[in-house]
Amino acid sequence: MAQLISRLRVWRGAVLLLAGLYFLVPMAASVWFSIDDRDGISFEAYTGLLSAEGFTDSLVLTLELAAVTVVVLLLLLVPAMIAVRIGSPRLRPVLEVVCTLPLVVPPVALTAGLIGVLRWGPDYLMDTPFFQTFVFVQQPEFPLVLVVAYVLMALPLAYRALDSGLRAVDVPTLVEAARNCGASWPRAVVSVVLPNLRGALLNAAFLTLALVLGEFTTASILGYQPFAVWIYSVGNSQGQMSVAVSVLSLLITWVLLLLLAAAGRERRHKTAATS
């Protein structure tokens, strides 16, 4: 028995070691690549970033897009999912299909479709409000068409995250209890259901955020320049800087995730203490 356990440990250790190597080496190599200079070590690729042309503009645009996408996505998805749990279980398959279908359509194909739709507008609807809508969603300062694409792409991820959160909570009973205590509908949802979903909401928001931060396909084909597209243009001329940005983007994602995990944990402690 002891032999078996030690054999298992060796096996487990080997698996983890190999996996660790495979995943750590590219990171270490990237960091090294970005600071390796002919005469030693140089952090120029990092320090030069802030002053690089287009860096702040593209970053701000991406963050704005991400914020709007997260808000729109949660506002659309959360009420629908709670409603399906509480009172309309028949709509559940519909919701599931709606939230799974975008998985079937790759971003490139979705972009092709969006371009197809946008081409309809100018052609036959010149003097109608439709045309103005098409112009409005494509304005370069804030391309709403990207938000539409991002919400669709994030839908399956967010649905999964929220669904697993909802599974752990008996929503109908919670709402029933709150309603019996005289809470209004919005209050029952906001102050009883949502706090229980905190982890799932954060998870969904994080996945969406990460998706938007890294999204390249749609934005580049439609001709906008959020952060990922900017990195691409930098990569063509300054190899070191593009790697530096890659390292930074990985770090930022990591920090975000750790912060969110910490936030979720803190909340859980609080509820445990007060209850």
Partner 1 sequence: MTTAPTPVPTPAAAETSGGPGAPGPVTSSPAPPPVGRRLLRGGSWLATVPLLAFFLIGFGLPAVAIVTGAFTVSSDAETGAGAFTTANLTDSVQGAYWTALLSSIKLSALTALIGTVLGVPIAQAVLTSRFRMLREAVLTASGVLANFGGLPLAFAFVATLGNAGEVTRMFHLTDHGWSLYSFTGLAVTYLYFLVPLMVLTITPALEGLRVQWREAAQNNRATTLQYWRHIALPILFPSLLGGFVLLFGSAFAAYATAAAMVGATVPLISRQIADALSGNVLVGQGNLALALSLDMIIVAVLVMAVYLPLQRRSARWLS
Identify any residues that bridge with 37 across adjacent strands, giving them in sequence order: 40
CB of 159 to partner 1, least distance (A): 10
161 binds partner 1 (CB under 8 A): yes
8 Å CB contact between 62 and 213: yes
191 binds partner 1 (CB under 8 A): no
49 binds partner 1 (CB under 8 A): no
CB of 50 to partner 1, least distance (A): 18
Closest CA to 96 of 169, 151, 156, 171: 156
The binder of partner 1 chosen from 49, 59, 68, 105 (CB under 8 A): 105
The binder of partner 1 chosen from 10, 108, 190, 259 (CB under 8 A): 108
Distance CA 203, CA 205 (A): 5
Total residues contacting partner 1 (rule CB under 8 A)? 109
10 binds partner 1 (CB under 8 A): no
Count CB-CB contacts under 10 A for residue 62.
24
116 binds partner 1 (CB under 8 A): yes
CB of 102 to partner 1, least distance (A): 7
Beta-carbon contacts of residue 263 (< 8 Å; ≥ 6 apart): 202
Closest to partner 1 by CB, 37 or 170: 170
Site for partner 1, residues 226 to 255, rule: CB under 8 A: 228, 231-232, 235, 239, 242-243, 245-247, 249-250, 253-254
Element (H, E) at 157: helix 144-167
The binder of partner 1 chosen from 123, 127, 140, 186 (CB under 8 A): 123
CB of 217 to partner 1, least distance (A): 5
170 binds partner 1 (CB under 8 A): yes
74 binds partner 1 (CB under 8 A): no
CB of 188 to partner 1, least distance (A): 10
Closest CA to 226 of 253, 218, 139: 218
Closest CA to 17 of 5, 27, 9: 9
Q: Which of these ranges, 51-59, 62-70, 92-100, lies near partner 1 under the rule CB under 8 A?
A: 92-100
Q: Position 169: which residue type?
A: V
Six-digit token string for 69: 């996408």
State the chain's maximal CA–CA distance in angstroms: 81
CB of 201 to partner 1, least distance (A): 13
CB of 199 to partner 1, least distance (A): 6
95 binds partner 1 (CB under 8 A): yes
The binder of partner 1 chosen from 6, 265, 266, 270 (CB under 8 A): 265
Q: Could you give the C-alpha distances from 201 to 64, 98, 159, 264, in angstroms and in order?
A: 19, 19, 10, 10
Distance CA 206, CA 72 (A): 14
3-state secondary structure of 24: helix
